[in-house]
Amino acid sequence: MHRHIDRLSIARRHFWIFNRWLGLQMAFVGILFSTGTGAILLLSKSIIDPSLLGFSISFSMGFSKAIFSAVNEFGILETCMDSADTIIRYSEMEPEDQGGAEMSHDWPSSGEIRVERLNVAYSDNTPLVLRDITFTVGGGTRIGIVGRTGAGKSSLALSLLRLLEPQSGSIYTDGIDISTIKLQTLRSRIAFIPQDPVLFSGTVRSNLDYFKHVSDDKLEEALRAVGLASKDCDDTPGSFTLGSSITAGGTNMSQGQRQLLCLARVLIRNPKIIILDEATSAVDDKTDLIIQNTIRNAFHGTLIVVAHRLRTIASFDQVMVMNDCKIAEIGSPAELMKARGLFYDLVQDSQDRDMLISTL
Ligand SMILES: Nc1ncnc2c1ncn2[C@@H]1O[C@H](COP(=O)(O)OP(=O)(O)O)[C@@H](O)[C@H]1O
Ligand SMILES: [Mg+2]
């Protein structure tokens, strides 16, 4: 509250300082004008009637007041029009197309993803962030995506959910072009954990299962699986129960805890396709290991993991290395190690080098 009051006071203070400064200047202009008028009237008092003279002087004194309020009102109009401008811009914002085909309940049944010659840009006048991407992920395959920061890994993940619309090329999930599917259906069938997850104000329960479709037991089990639940039902710090409250944006949790809660949400829904975008980047190694094991045991669908720890994907079926908006290498981790390309270099630079070399 104090922070907000301070911010308001700062804005107000500046507003009034400028307002008074303007008033002072206008008063000076007014004084000059009245003095000038007075001087001219005095010089010509022989030809002007004294009553008319008094009348003119009192009128000229009102001038400064009038000019000040004109400038002031114009300033207020400008400020208000700024707000109108924002509202108009929001009302003209184009909503995403909500149309498209409704899919049957069991879609996607196998979880196969095929991407063909995909070109993606954030807007029409920015350069492509994905160039000519073609690959296929079989149903139930676990694929890791690695590459330097800015290589386009997150953009690829966003494209699979149509959060970015392709400029050309197509993505097929279970043989169906996702651009023909209703957005809400598509996004409800694929689980996605972004790099920086968002939570809503409410409780842990409302964030896990807003519509209350799932039993408490199952929710608690998921919380335990990601290591967020307290062991003996008391309020130890760093642990949560279903009733724990969450502030807007999840600001009362650390980023790692938010990622864990999103993982719990995924475990409950058990979808056919999961996309994790560096979902455990803010989680310690030990917790990460527990989560990876949990996912491995609990989940048998297609898993796409943008990984920042190479050890996470060492046991995966496939690895895709992205470089400069393109796929540089794709294959099993052991194959890529043999090829001595980019993946090999990444392994050499990694902290877990010895562990990786011994397992691959
Ligand atoms: N919101 C955005 N608007 C425009 N360009 C973006 C945006 N987000 C990312 N980019 C660009 O896309 C490229 C790939 O980014 P990203 O997919 O986030 O990389 P990664 O996840 O591999 O680090 C970057 O070069 C970046 O400049
Ligand atoms: Mg990223």
Query: Hey, where are the domains in the chain?
Result: 2-92, 113-359
- What is the CATH number that goes with domain 113-359? 3.40.50.300
Mean pLDDT of 108-135: 93
DSSP letter assigned to residue 301: S
Q: How many angstroms separate the alpha carbon of residue 147 from the centre of ligand 2? A: 10
Percent of the chain exceeding pLDDT 90 equals 43
Task: Give the separation between CA 262 and CA 144, rounded to whole angstroms.
Answer: 19
Assess whether the C-beta atom of 151 lies below 6 angstroms from ligand 1.
yes
In this predicted structure, what is the pLDDT of residue 234?
Answer: 54
In this prediction, residue 212 carries a pLDDT of: 86
The pLDDT of residue 274 is: 92
Residue 12 has pLDDT above 80, yes or no: yes
Instruction: Return mean pLDDT, the chain.
Output: 89
Using one digit for the tens of pLDDT, what is the confidence trace for 333-345? 999 999 999 999 9
Residue 129 CB–ligand 1 contact under 6 Å:
yes
Using a 6 Å cutoff on CB, does residue 238 contact ligand 1?
no
The mean pLDDT value for 78-83 works out to: 92
Question: What is the reported pLDDT for 46?
Answer: 85
pLDDT at 65 over 60: yes
139 DSSP assignment: T
Cβ(150) to ligand 1 under 6 A? yes
Distance (angstroms) between ligand 1 centre and the Cα of 152 equals 6
> Does the pLDDT at position 232 exceed 70?
no
Confidence band for 1, pLDDT divided at 50, 70 and 90: very high
* Cα within 13 Å of Cα(354), Cβ side: 0
Confidence of residue 289 (pLDDT cuts 50, 70, 90): confident
Flag whether pLDDT at 332 surpasses 80: yes
Separation of CA 48 and ligand 2 centre (Å): 82
Mean pLDDT over residues 45-64, rounded? Answer: 85
CA of 281 to the centre of ligand 1 (A): 17
For residue 55, what are its two tokens? 């009348």
The pairing of beta strand 273-277 with beta strand 326-331: unpaired
Q: What is the mean pLDDT of residues 179-186?
A: 92
pLDDT band per the 50, 70, 90 thresholds, residue 236: low
Pocket of ligand 1 contains residue 173 by CB under 6 Å: no
Closest CA to 193 of 306, 298, 308, 111: 306
Q: What is the pTM of this model?
A: 0.74
Does residue 211 or residue 64 have the better pLDDT? 211
Our answer on whether the CB atom of 358 is closer than 6 Å to any ligand 1 atom is no
pLDDT at 308: 83
Whether the CB-CB separation of 134 and 148 falls below 8 Å is answered with: no
Q: Please give the number of the atom of ligand 1 that sits closest to the Cα of 153.
A: 22
User: Nearest-CA neighbor of 240 among 254, 248, 249?
Assistant: 254
Q: Whose CA is nearest to atom 21 of ligand 1?
A: 154
The answer on pLDDT for 189 being more than 70 is yes
How many other CB atoms sit within 10 Å of the CB of residue 124?
6
Ligand 1 pocket: which of 154, 192, 278, 324 to mutate (most atoms within 8 A of CB): 154
CB 309 within 8 A of CB 352: yes
- pLDDT at residue 231 above 70? no
**Atom of ligand 1 minimally distant from the CA of 158:** 17
User: In percent, how much of the chain has pLDDT > 70?
Assistant: 98
274 φψ region: left (φ > 0), alpha (ψ -120 to 50), beta (else): beta
Question: 276 with 313: CB under 8 angstroms?
Answer: no
Check whether 194 has a pLDDT greater than 70.
yes
Lowest mean pLDDT across 35-39, 60-64, 77-81, 328-332: 60-64
Q: Is the CB of 149 under 6 A from ligand 1?
A: yes
Q: How far is the CA of 195 from the centre of ligand 2 (A)?
A: 7
pLDDT range class, residue 305, cuts 50, 70, 90: very high
185 has a pLDDT exceeding 80? yes
pLDDT at 10 over 90: yes
- The pLDDT score that the predictor gives to residue 303 is 93
